[in-house]
Amino acid sequence: MINIYVGPTIAHVMSGHKADPHAQILREHYLESWRAGGLTGAVMQISDWPTVGMLLSEVRGSEGEITFCTSRADFDNRPEGSFGLFMSFEGYGPLVGDFEALETMSQLGVTTFTFSHNMQNLLCTGCNERFGEGGFSHLGKQVLKELESLPLMVDLVHMSRASFWDALDIYDGDIFVSHANADAVSPHRRNLTDEQLKAVAARNGVIGITTYRGYVTEDPFRATLSDVLDHAMHIYDLVGAEHLAIGADYSGSSIEMISGALKQADPDNAYGLNELGADIYAVGPEGMEDASRLGSLVSGLAERGLSQDELDLVTGGSYLAMLERARPATAR
């Protein structure tokens, strides 16, 4: 099983490596729970050169327990029992507009580019921007066109709906949404409307079901596994298992480590993330409280009627098929 959006684990990695450049944060703090939940691979987010080096250092020092994967072939052929680690570049940070950096990231083996983290930036408008439904900037459009020539997938998560539709109009390559739920089940600016879900499927993309309680139910403190399954089944019924994946955005880190990211996503507290965000993020929905309980999601989907072949798609097959198209084994 592959989790296509690990969440703020990178904050823990960054903190650990500042104290000890040879730290093994993933191996010592996360692998056990990930494996307990049935995970064999994950996509982690980086936003600058230091975080790339930190993750590669984690891989090098893991004694084979973690394998850096740049393609489906890398994942399929990793040593038995080794955890497959992919990298996704959230490009709203210090490298924004650096086209040469895109080429370098691709050569290093980064698989994905993400434009926003909920707020407006130099590339596009995020979903938490309360001053309008703006779309892509001129620079953002240039980045989209540049990405068409590179084996990097485009993740349309975190952005406003106007930005989402701009991206589909401008960009001709593979697109997906790493972690979002169905707006029809629980309306939220971060969830996807049926029209958006169908548009992702029409472009052969996938949607990763997410566990952040704020996107699961209107009252996040009442979110349950059954509610998450409702989102998954709505997407399944609408577009099929071949467009469904797991984007379980668990925290896994201390509240102190994620509070800064939540303030960044809602700087003027327009959506209350500064007050409640950390509490909502601290634990997953009832029945799947942390990554070690991810297997309950798979069991629940089986109980809701998915076949083993369909479960294989949801737990990694759909994502790997998309990755194989966008980034063949020889692409760098």
DSSP string of 134-193?
--B-HHHHHHHHHHTTTT-EEE-TTB-HHHHHHHHHH--S-EEBSS--BTTTS--TTSB-
Domains for the chain: give ranges and CATH numbers: 2-326 (3.20.20.140)
Q: So what's the pLDDT on residue 256?
A: 61
Q: CB–CB of 225/216 below 8 Å?
A: no
Is residue 3 within a helix (H) or strand (E), and if so which, with residue range? strand 2-3
Q: How much of the chain, in percent, has pLDDT values that exceed 70? A: 90
Distance CA 219, CA 201 (A): 29
Range 79-88 average pLDDT: 97
Q: CB–CB of 80/89 below 8 Å?
A: no
Asked whether the predicted pLDDT for residue 251 surpasses 80, the reply is: no
Place of tokens 């965000």: 277
Q: Are strands 83-90 and 2-3 parallel, antiparallel or unpaired?
A: unpaired
Average pLDDT value for the chain: 91
Q: So what's the pLDDT on residue 282?
A: 81
Q: How much of the chain, in percent, has pLDDT values that exceed 90? A: 78
The residues near 122 (Cβ < 8 Å, ≥ 6 apart) are: 92, 96, 97, 137, 139, 140
Is 2 strand, coil or helix? strand
For the whole model, what pTM was predicted?
0.93
Distance CA 140, CA 154 (A): 12
**pLDDT one-digit tens code per residue, 137-181:** 999 999 999 999 999 999 999 999 999 999 999 999 889 999 999
Q: So what's the pLDDT on residue 119?
A: 84
Q: CB–CB of 133/81 below 8 Å?
A: no
Asked whether the predicted pLDDT for residue 309 surpasses 70, the reply is: yes
Of residues 205 and 253, more confidently modeled: 205
Q: So what's the pLDDT on residue 332?
A: 58
Range 278-304 average pLDDT: 93
DSSP state of 331: -
